[in-house]
A = this chain, B = another copy of it.
Amino acid sequence: MKAEIMAVGTELLLGDILNTNAQFLAQELANLGIEVYYQTVVGDNPKRLKDTIFHAFDRADLIITTGGLGPTEDDLTKETAAEYFGEKLVLDERALGRIKKYFDRTGRTMTQNNVKQAMVPENNCTVLYNDNGTAPGIIMEKNGKMIVMLPGPPKETIPMFRNQVKPYLVKKQEFTFVSRILRVAGVGESAMEDRVKDIIDAQTNPTIAPYAKDGEAILRITAKAKDEAEANELIDPVAELLKERLGNAVYAEGETDMETVVAEMLLERKLTVAVAESCTGGMIASRLVEYPGISAALLEGCVTYSNDAKMHRLGVKAETLEKYTAVSEETAREMAEGIAKTSGADIGIATTGIAGPDGGSEEKPVGLVYIGLSYKGKTEVQEHHFVGKRDKIRERATYTALDWLRRAMLDEE
């Protein structure tokens, strides 16, 4: 099955919004093993929309559209598709009832225009009822051609695709493709690839693809099978083999992020932590606070940006700052010990570094960051050299500090 992804909306042509739906649908179709040869964006213009849909059906079996299902006269996706298939639109009472209920629930007033949203093709049509908005989606299918019309807002598009369209398409496919992601921290993409190259080369189903995303190394394992259960059976032993080889470097599967992994580990182990941040400036604390319920583990954080704050909040010694400067192994050590001691936490983490763009020197260049970890009374310091702009250096330092905390908890076991 060859597919085409089509977004309908003048706001995309003006650049007012970013077409994230295209990426979402592209990934989903790739996972289903459905080939996509083209993506198109067309405005809310009757002639051009018609040309685009008709032209797309010359080269594809399946078109997935987003947008153009709204209540205004401009919204014509459904009308144009019905024209292609030679169907007329009729009122769907169930869709209308749901639209009315949606307006009641959100306390807004339904207009006559919204009735248009409840019109659906009379035949060869599956209505996709919308739990997150007013416009129902539509699947039309006839003579080996299929169009799936989804609403434009991602909060409506994504659940409608996942819950209703995906199962529909899976049934049509002889094979399904299932992917699993392993997230790797503290090892670069090429170093990771080197370590598992023999495993990658030996595999055909599932395949293993290494790549880098937002500075993180990732392994994607993709299996082709007749159903999801069979695919997972193929993936499981390969995932285990990779995890065994990479050890602690694999920190999560799927979409879990580093702060979630660290927060859950802290809570499971009933460990408390406190953070003293200079160059990261509150970012480590802020990431941890993103996890609901972290209050049981995170006692406090100190953004000790000035030397004075390092001394009076954490007890860093004046002579340490004078002799070694604020960005030094010694200061990082005293900060980590100081925050653990003054907060009473099991673990103290500290960062001090030069995030740039100014303030670097030959001896201490921009990107130099010392991370201190005081773990139940034992303190160590790591020296790192991060590259990139100020925000990237701070993000890398935050990520690396959280990863070290994760590894320290694992090492203790």
Residues of chain A whose beta carbon lies under 8 Å from any beta carbon of chain B: 12-20, 22-30, 36-43, 45, 48, 52, 55, 211, 275, 277, 279-286, 288-290, 292-295, 298-306, 308-309, 312-313, 342-344, 355-358, 390-391, 394
- How far is B295's CA from A303's CA once the two chains are assembled, in angstroms? 11
B305 near A303: Cβ-Cβ < 8 Å: no
Known: A300-B313, A358-B293. A30 touches B14 (CB 8 A): yes
- Identify A303's interface contact among B28, B289, B293, CB under 8 A: B289
Chain B hits for A300, CB < 8 A: 302-306, 308-309, 313
The 9 closest A-B pairs by CB, nearest first: A281-B289, A282-B282, A15-B26, A301-B303, A15-B27, A282-B285, A300-B309, A39-B41, A282-B286
- How far is B301's CA from A205's CA once the two chains are assembled, in angstroms? 52
Known: A298-B305, A303-B303. A40 touches B38 (CB 8 A): yes
Can you list 18 A-B contacts with CB-CB less than 8 angstroms, sorted by A residue number?
A: A12-B26, A14-B30, A15-B27, A15-B29, A19-B39, A22-B41, A277-B285, A281-B290, A282-B286, A290-B394, A292-B358, A300-B302, A300-B303, A300-B306, A300-B309, A301-B303, A302-B313, A309-B343
Chain B hits for A308, CB < 8 A: 299-300, 344
- How far is B5's CA from A13's CA once the two chains are assembled, in angstroms? 9
Chain B hits for A356, CB < 8 A: 292
The A interface, classified by DSSP as helix, strand, loop or mixed, is mixed
Known: A286-B280, A306-B295. A15 touches B19 (CB 8 A): no
B39 near A13: Cβ-Cβ < 8 Å: yes
Kindly report which residue of chain B lies nearest to residue A45, judged by CB atoms: B37
A38 near B15: Cβ-Cβ < 8 Å: no
Chain B hits for A40, CB < 8 A: 38-41
Chain B hits for A27, CB < 8 A: 14-16
In the assembled complex, how far is the CB of residue A229 from the closest CB belonging to chain B, in whole angstroms?
24
- How far is B391's CA from A306's CA once the two chains are assembled, in angstroms? 28
Chain B hits for A306, CB < 8 A: 295, 298-300
- How far is B39's CA from A408's CA once the two chains are assembled, in angstroms? 49
Chain B hits for A42, CB < 8 A: 37-38
Kindly report which residue of chain B lies nearest to residue A55, judged by CB atoms: B55
